[in-house]
Amino acid sequence: MDQHFRIINSHSNSPLLLICDHASNYIPAKYKDLGLTSNQLQEHIAWDIGAAEITLQISKMLDSVAILCGISRLIIDTNRDPSDPNATPEISDNISITGNKNLTKINRENRLKNYFWPYHNAIRKQIDYLKGKLNPLNKTPIIFSIHTFTQIMRSVGGVRRLWDVGVLWDRDPRVAGILIRELTNHKDNLIVGDNKPYSGKEFYYTLDYHAGSRGLPHCAIEIRQDLVDTPEQTIYWATLISKILNNIINNSEIHKIQQY
């Protein structure tokens, strides 16, 4: 079986792990594009447009490890609980996903076995590796997830989302609080969402599973997709986020096991 995830800079000693759950719109040939057109597979329903590029740039700038999922979230959404029916959606933003209709239990379990769990097992192993490296320094790794969101969602009446960037968090405020403050105070007058356009208290499976449950500092960021259309925009966001993350990495108060 092909490995449907990428690990970048796996031997980095940086106390930061970057993850990108929706990095790819790839669908293996046996699924026949789930009945979708090539144009539909380029839309946000299949992946987080621009998220992979931003993740790779941050990894390069901070010399940190990154793990990127290599399968479309339409095959299996790695940021949803595996028991959630919407992890294999039949409809996404008013588009019918015919290849996901009436899935048998065995077909769904095969997707979990082949794509979902290998990705999450890779994250777990990388966290264990980083913890081992950092333990003599009395540090714990920071887990940071990168996503993008579309400006307009058909399924919610075409309402425009005006936030430039959102910070998602659940119970642990350590990383999120700094990000929200620094982004809000940025010279470009960014419109920053605190658990907007999604709430980390609802859509947060990967971070809850790997970081929240272990008391590791963590949070996710969402960048509006029309703001990452060009290489220059990608560099802008990667540079800005890297600068803030570097300050967080150098904050000794962050690198502690703490349950919330």
- List of domains in the chain: 5-249 (3.40.630.40)
Mapped onto helix, strand or coil, the DSSP state of residue 228 is coil
**Confidence band of 115 (pLDDT split at 50, 70, 90):** very high
Residues 58 and 18 sit within 8 Å (Cβ to Cβ): yes
Angle between helices 231-249 and 174-184 (to 10 degrees): 130
What pLDDT sits at residue 100?
Answer: 97
212 and 176 Cβ atoms separated by less than 8 Å: no
Neighbours of 132 (CB within 10 A): 9
pLDDT given at position 160: 83
Give 250's pLDDT tier (boundaries 50, 70, 90). very high
Residue 152 confidence (pLDDT): 81
The C-alpha atoms of residue 3 and residue 193 are separated, in whole angstroms, by 35
- Mean pLDDT, to the nearest integer, of 167-180? 97
Q: Above 80 in pLDDT, residue 155?
A: no
Give the least confident one: 10-19, 36-45, 132-141, 151-160.
Answer: 151-160
Report the pLDDT averaged over residues 27-38: 96
φ, ψ (nearest 5 deg) of residue 222 = -125, 125
For the chain, give percent helix, strand, coil, nearest 5.
Answer: 40, 15, 45
Asked whether the predicted pLDDT for residue 103 surpasses 50, the reply is: yes
| Residue whose pair of structure tokens reads 């959606």 in the numeric block | 89
Tokens in use for 173? 């405020």
Omega before residue 197 within 30° of 0, cis: yes
223: how many CB neighbours lie within 10 A of its CB?
Answer: 26
Please give the helix or strand (H or E) that residue 219 lies within, else none.
Answer: strand 218-224
Check pLDDT > 80 for residue 96: yes
Look at residue 136 in the predicted model and tell me its pLDDT.
87
Q: How confident is the model at residue 60 (pLDDT cuts 50, 70, 90)?
A: very high
Percent of the chain with pLDDT over 70: 97
Mean predicted confidence (pLDDT) in 94-111: 95
- Higher pLDDT, residue 33 or 3: 33
Residue 1 predicted with pLDDT over 50: no
Nearest alpha-carbon partner for 18 in 241, 252, 171: 241
Section 46-65 average pLDDT: 98
Please state, in angstroms and rounded to a whole number, the distance separating the CA atoms of residues 76 and 237: 27
In whole angstroms, what separates CA 177 from the centre of its chain? Answer: 18
Q: How much is the pTM? A: 0.95
Once rounded to an integer, what is the mean pLDDT over residues 69-96?
A: 95
Amino acid 84 reads D
* pLDDT of 204 higher than 90: no
CA–CA–CA angle 149, 152, 156 (5° rounding): 105
User: Dihedrals φ, ψ of 204, to 5°?
Assistant: -155, 25
Task: Quote the percentage of the chain above a pLDDT of 90.
Answer: 88
pLDDT at 137: 86
Run of H or E including 166: strand 165-168
The residues that bridge with 122 in the sheet, in sequence order, are none
**Higher local confidence (pLDDT), 152 or 130:** 130
Question: Given pLDDT bands bounded at 50, 70 and 90, which one contains residue 2?
Answer: low
In this predicted structure, which of 45-49, 143-147, 199-203 has the lowest mean pLDDT? 199-203
